[in-house]
Amino acid sequence: MIVGYRLDDRLSIGLGTGAHFNNRSTGSFFSENDFIPVYAYIRRYQGTHNWGPFLFTKIGYGFPMGRNFVMDDFSGGFFAQPGIGLHFASRGRYRFIMSLSNYVQYTKGSQRNRDFVFNNPIDIKYKVWYNRLMFKVGVEFR
């Protein structure tokens, strides 16, 4: 969710939050890191038409949310999501948008696990950059 304000015909700013669910699997290591990010949002329209392209970015911090079933302990970290989009205006108080962006979230943590052969405890420390390409189709309300 983003709550924002349009400064002029081309520039909007806002504050946002949400819930992001991430996981990573590498061989026998599995990590599940969920975040509640709090971020600043900036959008720059490239035209003042009823439809048109825009550039945007979300920059903030992802706070850790919960723990998974294998005693995973992790920290929050830097969050960013720069992207481009296209909006299609309508006569009502809503409009359709499409966007393409790059999701980046940093975390580090530790995990206690067991090896599958001898059932010995294993302590794993990790640092992860989640980096994903995201495509969004949605509706915005004014």
pLDDT per residue as tens digits for the range 13-55: 999 999 999 887 776 677 788 899 999 999 998 876 677 899 9
- pLDDT score of 67: 61
pLDDT (mean) for 4-10? 87
| CB-CB contact of 29 with 23 (8 Å) | no
Spatial neighbors of 36 by CB under 8 A, at least 6 apart, are: 17, 18, 19, 20, 62, 63, 65
Is it true that domain 2-141 has CATH number 1.10.490.10?
Answer: no
Higher pLDDT, 75 or 115: 75
- pLDDT score of 30: 74
The pLDDT mean for the chain works out to 86
pTM: 0.81
- pLDDT score of 122: 80
Q: pLDDT at residue 101 above 80?
A: yes
Higher pLDDT, 65 or 58: 58
- pLDDT score of 132: 93
- pLDDT score of 68: 54
- pLDDT score of 28: 65
Q: Report the range of poorest mean pLDDT among 53-57, 63-67, 112-116, 123-127.
A: 112-116
27 phi/psi in degrees, rounded to 5? 65, -120
Handedness of CA 96, 98, 104, 109 (dihedral sign): positive
The helix or strand, by DSSP H or E, that contains position 102, with its residue range, turns out to be: strand 94-114
- pLDDT score of 87: 87
